[in-house]
Structure 1
Amino acid sequence: MKKAKLITLVLLSPFMIKAQNASYELNVTIQGLKQRPGTKAFLIFRNGNKTITDSTLVRNGRFTFQGALSEYKSAQLALDHTGAGLEKTQDFLQLYLEKGLITVLAKDSLKFGEVDGPVINKQARLYKTLLRKNSDKLKSISAKWSKIDPKDSSLRKLNDELASAYKNEILVREQLNVQFIKENPDADISAEILSRVAGPIIEVEKIEPLYHLLSARVRKTSAGRTLGADLASTKATYVGSLSPTFSKSDMDGKMIKLADFKGRYVLIDFWASWCKPCRAENPYVIKAYDKFRDKGFQVLGISLDKDKNSWLKAVKDDALPYTQILDEAANGQRIADNYAVKAIPQNFLIDPKGKIIARNLRGTELDKELKRIFGSDL
């Protein structure tokens, strides 16, 4: 299976929908469960920046969790069949914690359990039903794909056929997601689903009309507000916009300001030492820099590394000749935040007046764009 050459910086955290006095009771029944003495069930969810893990004993295939939350939250149930602990547990079920009574009815294990609840879990069940055929097809293709030896050239045709089939089903999944949003604009989970459709690099022309289809109430949920903010920040760094200004120290401690590059074409290149696709792009950027720097082209590398030594080593190993900045958070804010960067590699080409004229030029696309600007006789 081909892997997308994009590293997501911020995993989709469980979306939270505001509620008042959100006390919940979660009752689970697993019919036919062959349990050992001391079998434990776990409830895992995020509360702010913390992961909360609760546990309880399973008695005769039944267990209950209760609690009070200020917000509805996405959560996971886990069942430890062997006593090996949560880390080695493979039996999980996704659901929502919401105000009221939530029930789960399963047979033998959690993962195929049916969840019912007052509002949001009913929405999730409707969504799951819509996706069922598509999900089954994706699982079937993946199962066949996993058995193929990529080194076996005789299976290349089958590999390509499965790749094409998988790609088609991913497109079907997106169409189904959009269908659900259009048919359920007042469903809380529609904002979350739209965020999945948007992905880490938002296409404003595609996502904004769908966002405005959501009801005003859903746009005010946590997921809705987050997506709205992401749309706004993406629009602020779209082609035609003025690039956000910034100033930070480079590798030598010299203060670097974007304004210092005014009058030249500048590629702002977001990357990191641990990002393999970024490292694969570096030779193309170096080649473009060497070719066009005398024409008025500069590159400003902005690393999202958390470990300074790893960053410095990568700069040396890749022999990066242009200015480098480590994007450490200052007062909780990073340059990447101002450019709505949630996945790397990403880059922005800035003209001499500070306007963004191109985004995400990959591979030979950068060379082609610079030839268009400076002329092709190089």
Structure 2
Amino acid sequence: MKTGMLLAALALPAISAAQQAYTLKGTLTTREPGAKAYLDRRVNGETFLDSAVLKNGHFEFKGTVKAPYLAMLVVDHKGAGLANQGMDMDRRLLYLDKGTILISGKDQISDAVISGSEVNKEHERYKLFISAYDTAMAGINSEFGAATAAQRNDTVFMNGLNARFHEAINTKKGLQRRFIRENPGSFFSIVALKELAVMNNMNLAELTPMYNGLTAALKKSPAGQEFYQSMETEKALGIGAPAPDFTQPDIHDKPVKLSDFKGKYVLLDFWASWCGPCRAENPNVVAAYKKFHDRNFVVLSVSLDQPGKKAAWLGAIEKDGLQDFVHVSDLKYWDNAVARQYGVRGVPTNYLIAPDGRIIAKNLRGDQLDKRLGELVSR
């Protein structure tokens, strides 16, 4: 894992708030020459990477934040460069917040102790609260990693792991719901709400009561306002609502509008070349297109590929056989203008739009798209 390591769930639009200064001071007892620390964070879809040389085991970062902000701290002990750290890199997730944050340890930053920061203290409490999920996932990953090739091809074995995976996810959801109920003023109740929003496709029937149960102060905070805006966006994109129009460049940099396809059934499909689940879903979309394209159906595909990654985007189109779709992107990653307009918090995400421009279905997976189109075009 290199740069861009933060979760999609954190990519909601930023809320205007006063900037506040932070200082992150780190200390390790190791004194290896050439060691460097890196601070990796993503703001509005753009990755920022700062570095600092360790001097007698000490390093320091300074900056500003509008609210507690998740970042990844990585220590390169040998001075080999961040790109050469491999999967066993020494790293630590922490929150940047106003004031001075201290982190100190012996050999590894991953085992270091954070002090001087209430939000990071609360983060440790939240992680402990949902630790049953992490324990379950560690066991699943360990068992999969140790599995033989025969076991990985064994349907019974893989189905068992898959069932345990879904059980772990349900455990996490239950713990997050409980945390929100029991901690209505905690910043991490908003963090939990964001994750639940991704996992349940922004189900407002579940999320709204949980949000309403938060304290007034938390709802007024930048994080609270941000989540409220995401719910308002979702309300405007409900079944029966008009799909917001937009313009974005295609693979030849020519402008394409959603309204260009009025009079047709349109699958507005958000994906990216780097998204494994998207690539796994592509064959289903291709199959539906081949079956219904001559019955007034088009696929308008919006890629959340990263700046400078047009070749990866085009390569995925070619490899997955998506050449007959209409493809657009501004190559701004999670800051893609259409994704922000539609409140996209994770990919794949899709909207099925009727010939009159109304949204008639969301997040159709597997054979659901085929079945829904079959119902519509046979009327």
| TM score, norm. by length of structure 2 | 0.76
* Structure 1 partner of 2:114: 115
TM-fit CA distance, 1:238: 1.9
Is the CA contact (8 Å cut-off) linking 1:76 and 1:93 kept in structure 2?
yes
Query: What is the Cα-based RMSD across aligned positions, in Å?
Result: 4.0
* Structure 2 partner of 1:74: 70
Aligned match of 2:33 in 24, 35, 38? Answer: 38
> In 2, Cα distance between the equivalents of 1:23 and 1:218?
21
Aligned match of 1:84 in 73, 77, 80? Answer: 80
Summarize the Cα distance change of 1:121–1:353 in structure 2 as closer, same or farther, 3 Å threshold: same
> In 1, Cα distance between the equivalents of 2:254 and 2:100?
59
Aligned residues: 357
> In 1, Cα distance between the equivalents of 2:319 and 2:52?
48
TM-fit CA distance, 1:175: 1.6
Summarize the Cα distance change of 1:281–1:39 in structure 2 as closer, same or farther, 3 Å threshold: same
Deviates more, 1:208-217 or 1:235-244: 208-217
TM-fit CA distance, 1:308: 8.1
Summarize the Cα distance change of 1:105–1:14 in structure 2 as closer, same or farther, 3 Å threshold: farther
SS at match of 1:199: helix
* Structure 2 partner of 1:137: 136
Aligned pairs for 1:138-217 (under 5 A) are: 138-152=137-151, 156-199=155-198, 201-217=201-217
> In 2, Cα distance between the equivalents of 1:180 and 1:234?
24
* Structure 2 partner of 1:12: 10
SS at match of 2:10: coil
Deviates more, 1:214-223 or 1:185-194: 214-223
Deviates more, 1:161-170 or 1:246-255: 246-255
Larger Rg, first or second structure (1 or 2) = 1
CA offsets per residue over residues 302-359 of structure 1, 9 Å max, x none? Answer: 342663895499379837556x2524489x9744433333444433222343321112
Which structure has the highest strand share of the two? Answer: 1
Aligned match of 2:344 in 341, 344, 355? Answer: 341
> In 1, Cα distance between the equivalents of 2:53 and 2:251?
51
Summarize the Cα distance change of 1:43–1:193 in structure 2 as closer, same or farther, 3 Å threshold: farther
Structure 1 residue ranges without an equivalent (≥5): 1-7
2:185 alignment partner AA: D
2:119 alignment partner AA: I
> In 2, Cα distance between the equivalents of 1:254 and 1:66?
42
| TM score, norm. by length of structure 1 | 0.76
Deviates more, 1:120-129 or 1:83-92: 83-92
Aligned match of 1:55 in 52, 55, 61? Answer: 52
TM-fit CA distance, 1:124: 0.7
1:370 aligns with 2:373: yes
Is the CA contact (8 Å cut-off) linking 2:286 and 2:322 kept in structure 1?
no
TM-fit CA distance, 1:44: 0.5
Summarize the Cα distance change of 1:14–1:140 in structure 2 as closer, same or farther, 3 Å threshold: farther
> In 1, Cα distance between the equivalents of 2:160 and 2:150?
16
* Structure 1 partner of 2:243: 243
Is the CA contact (8 Å cut-off) linking 2:281 and 2:365 kept in structure 1?
no
> In 2, Cα distance between the equivalents of 1:243 and 1:351?
9
> In 1, Cα distance between the equivalents of 2:49 and 2:289?
45
> In 1, Cα distance between the equivalents of 2:315 and 2:78?
45
* Structure 1 partner of 2:287: 284
Deviates more, 1:300-309 or 1:124-133: 300-309
* Structure 1 partner of 2:300: 301
Identity within the alignment, %: 28
1:326 aligns with 2:328: yes
Summarize the Cα distance change of 1:232–1:316 in structure 2 as closer, same or farther, 3 Å threshold: same
Summarize the Cα distance change of 1:64–1:165 in structure 2 as closer, same or farther, 3 Å threshold: same
Is the CA contact (8 Å cut-off) linking 2:32 and 2:77 kept in structure 1?
no
Structure 2 residue ranges without an equivalent (≥5): 1-5
CA offsets per residue over residues 273-301 of structure 1, 9 Å max, x none? Answer: 665235323432223324x61xxx32242
SS at match of 1:111: helix
Deviates more, 1:93-102 or 1:263-272: 263-272
> In 1, Cα distance between the equivalents of 2:312 and 2:75?
41
SS at match of 2:144: helix
Is the CA contact (8 Å cut-off) linking 1:15 and 1:222 kept in structure 2?
no
